[in-house]
Amino acid sequence: MKALFYTREFPPYVYGGAGVHVEYLAEELSKLMEVDVRCFGDQDESRHNLSIKGFPYDHPVFESADGKLKAVFQTLSTCIRMNVDPVNAQVVHCHTWYAQFAGILTKLCYGTPLVITTHSLEPLRPWKREQLGRGYDASSWVEKTAIEMADAIIAVSEETKVDVLKHFNVDEKKVKVIYNGINLQEYVLTSASETLDAYGVDKTKPYVLFVGRITRQKGIIHLVNAIKYIDPDTQIVLCAGAPDTPEIAKEMEDSVNEVKKTRHNVIWIDKMVTKKEIIQLYSHADVFCCPSIYEPFGIINIEAMACNTAVVASAVGGIKEVVVPNETGILIPLEQQKEAPFEPVDPDAFSRDLATGINTLIHDEALRHKMAENGRKRVEDYFDWAAIAKQVESLYKSLI
C-alpha cells in the first residue's frame, strides 16, 4: 500500500502542531507502507519508504495581489502544482485547509480515496478573517468541500468529532477519532540545560513556560495579562513566534513591554526554537501553561507531559481529553462567548484563574512531582505514535 500526504508544513518548515503531527505520522507510517509527502517548500529527499517533495509557495505572479488574499491565491496555486506529478497512491491524506484543495483535485482527477485529518476547523476560528480578509470565505469553502466529499475524516479528539458533525454535512460513520501522538524516545526528561543559559533563564528560580504561535487561538495574551498575578519570584518564559498578523504581533509586543515595566523576569523567545531547545525548556520548567481558547487536541500538552512537566491549561476542546485534572495538571474553566470569536466572557477573571493554577503548582512541590510522573505515564499509555500509525493504516485499508 502507498499513501500520499498533502501538507503545508513539513521539516524544516514547521511552525504548528499540524506540522509536528505530519512529521511523526509520516515517519511511523513509512515503517508500514510507502509514504509520499508533497508539501510547501523546497524539500527533495527519499529514505526507506518515505519520499518528500516540496513545491514552492512564493511566485512573482502573486506580488501584485491584495496582501490578505495573496496567501489564498498562493495556496490554491501550490495545490494545483502538487497534482501535476502523477498520483499512484491508494489513498490521499490531507492536513489543514492549506492542503485540502490538492486532495479535492486528486480525488476528482485520479479517483483516489480521500482522508482528511481535522487539526482545526475554520468555523471555529473566525479570527482568521483578521489574517485572510475575504480569503477566510475561500478557506472555509475549501475545508467544507473537502470534508463533505472525503471518504474518511479523522478527528483528533472526541470533541472535534462533535464539532465536525455539527458544522458539516457528513455521515457519522465516516468520522473516526484518532489522537495525536508523540515520539516517546525523543521527548523525554533531560538534564541538559545549555538552552536555559543561552536565553538567560535563571536555573535557581522556578519558571512557567508557554510554547506556541502568536495567535488568538493560543490565548497567549491572556497569559501575558496573568503575569501580574503570578508569584513575583517565578520567571515567565514565553516561547512564542510566527504571529498571525502584524496587529496581533504589535498587541503582543505592547503587552509584554507593559509587564516588563514592573517585572524583570519575563523572557520572550520570539522565534521558533529547535526540538533540542524545546525539550530542554520543557524538562526544566516547573509548570507548562496552555491558555488556548480553541484547541482541538493540543499536542504541546503531551510534549510537556512527556518531559515530566505538570500542566495548567484551559478546559477547552481536546485538552480535556489529554490533561487529567488534578492528576496530570490543573484545568482552568473557561466561560466563553456563545458566538464567535469565543473569547472569555471575563478576560481578567480567566487570567486570574490561570495565575491561581500556576501559583498552586509553584508552591506545592509534591503535587508538581506527582503530576509530572502521572503525565509521563499517561503519554506512554495513550499517545504513542507507533500505535497511532497502526490505527491510521487500518483506516486506509478499510477504504481500499
Residue 198 has pLDDT above 90, yes or no: yes
pLDDT (0 to 100) of residue 107: 98
Do 87 and 4 form a contact (C-beta atoms < 8 A)?
yes
**Residue 232, pLDDT above cutoff 80:** yes
Residue type, 51: S
Say whether pLDDT at 349 is over 80: yes
pLDDT band at 220 (very low <50, low <70, confident <90, very high): very high
Domain with CATH 3.40.50.2000 in the chain: 2-181+384-399, 194-382
- pTM reported for the whole predicted model: 0.89
Helix intervals (H) in 261-324: 275-284, 299-306, 319-322
pLDDT for res 11 = 95
340 pLDDT higher than 80:
no
CB-based contact 4:112 (threshold 8 Å): yes
Kindly report, residue by residue over 58-106, the tens digit of the pLDDT.
888 998 999 889 999 999 999 999 999 999 999 999 999 999 999 999 9
Q: How far apart are the C-alpha atoms of 235 and 94, rounded to whole Å?
A: 40
pLDDT tens digits, 266-291 = 999 998 899 999 999 999 999 999 99
Element of type H or E holding 356: helix 347-362
**Quick one: cell of 333?**
474553566
DSSP assignment, residue 38? E
> How far from chain centre, in Å, is Cα 267?
22
What is the predicted pLDDT for the residue at 103? 98
Residue 337 has which C-alpha cell? 462567548
pLDDT tier at 342, thresholds 50, 70, 90: confident
pLDDT of residue 291: 98
Instruction: Compute the distance between CA of residue 99 and CA of residue 109 in angstroms, rounded to an integer.
Output: 16
- Contact indicator for 245, 130 with CB cutoff of 8 Å: yes
Residue 327: the pLDDT is 97
Each residue's pLDDT tens digit, 303-324: 999 999 999 999 999 999 999 9
Which residues are 55's β-sheet partners? 40
Burial 252-291, CB ≥16 within 10 A → b, else e: beebbeebeeeeebbbbbeebbeeebbbbbbbbbbbbbbb
| Superfamily of domain 194-382, CATH level 4 | Glycogen Phosphorylase B; (3.40.50.2000)
Through-space distance between the first and last CA atoms of the chain, rounded to whole angstroms:
9
- Average pLDDT over the chain, rounded to an integer: 95
SS3 340: coil
Which residues, including other chains, have CB under 8 Å from residue 68's CB and lie 6 or more apart? Answer: 131, 132, 133, 134, 135
pLDDT at 337: 87
Residues for the chain: how many in total? 400
Which 8-state DSSP code applies to residue 135? H
pLDDT tens digit string along 98-150?
999 999 999 999 999 999 999 999 999 988 888 899 999 999 999 999 999 99
Are the beta carbons of 95 and 5 closer than 8 angstroms?
A: yes
Burial 137-155 (b: 16+ CB within 10 A, else e): ebbbebbbbbbeebbbbbb
Quote the pLDDT of residue 16.
85
Percent of the chain exceeding pLDDT 90 equals 90
Residue with cell 481578567: 348
Locate 345 and state its grid cell. Answer: 466572557
- What is the mean pLDDT of the segment spanning 222-248? 94
pLDDT score recorded for residue 126: 87
Q: Which CATH superfamily does the domain covering 2-181+384-399 fall into? A: Glycogen Phosphorylase B; (3.40.50.2000)
**How much is the pLDDT for 182?**
93
Give CA separation, 212 vs 6, 68, 130, 241, 300, in Å.
23, 22, 19, 7, 8
